[in-house]
Amino acid sequence: MKLILASQSPRRRELLGQLGVSFECCPADIDETPLNNEFPDAYVIRMAMEKAQVVAAVNPSSWVLGSDTSVIVDGQILGKPESKEHGTDMLLSLSNRTHEVLTAVALVAVDESNQHSRHCLVKTQVSFREISQQMAEAYWHTQEPADKAGAYGIQGLGGMLVRSITGSYSSVVGLPLAETADLLMDIGIKGWWSWPQE
């Protein structure tokens, strides 16, 4: 069965490519507003499922992979920043402490009237150095934080903010590779681990 990545994120495309699977991309446009009092775990799983479901609905008999990454601090869900002030405030709220990055991955397939699905949730702890107001503003002006949850990118200039990480690096960047490979193996999609050895 065909695999479709329900994402517009170049990082997710690159990460999924690292598994050596064949896939197409189709962005999923959904409302990413958390529900009232929605717990972070439930929120990211719901987002990943909805992204996969909207694309699966118009692509029957394909497996569709949706994913969502959010930064959690003091129980608050930090998505992507909406303005410079929002972005710098987000970053400063992460200064000199540890936060959690949650990434959910969902696989959905629709055939006739049945929906098949499975998902996983990966939690990673990230500890930041102290960040000054001046540093937060300078980082905002690099344009790197604008499209990233928590207003930073561990894989870019934002890497110098990170003192330590416990968990999955690829999950922080947007797609946990080991866990995604587990889900794909489970539905029989082959990656580089199945390539011929000649």
Ligand X SMILES: Cc1cn([C@H]2C[C@H](O)[C@@H](COP(=O)(O)OP(=O)(O)OP(=O)(O)O)O2)c(=O)[nH]c1=O
Q: Which residues are catalytic?
A: 68
* Helix H or strand E encompassing 5: strand 2-5
CB of 1 to ligand X, least distance (A): 21
CA distance linking residue 152 with residue 80, whole number of Å:
9
> Of the candidates 174, 177, 180, 189, which one interacts with ligand X according to CB under 6 A?
174
State both tokens at 11: 């990082």
Answer yes or no whether residue 84 interacts with ligand X by CB under 6 A.
no
| Start-to-end C-alpha separation, the chain | 25
> Of the candidates 80, 108, 145, 179, which one interacts with ligand X according to CB under 6 A?
80
Answer yes or no whether residue 55 interacts with ligand X by CB under 6 A.
no
Q: Using CB under 6 A as the criterion, what x/- string covers residues 136-165 for binding ligand X?
A: -----------xxxx-xxxx----------
Packing angle of the helix pair 177-186, 10-17 (nearest 10 deg): 60
26 three-state secondary structure: coil
Chain residues that interact with ligand X, rule: CB under 6 A = 7-9, 11-12, 27, 51, 67-69, 71, 80, 101, 147-150, 152-155, 172-174
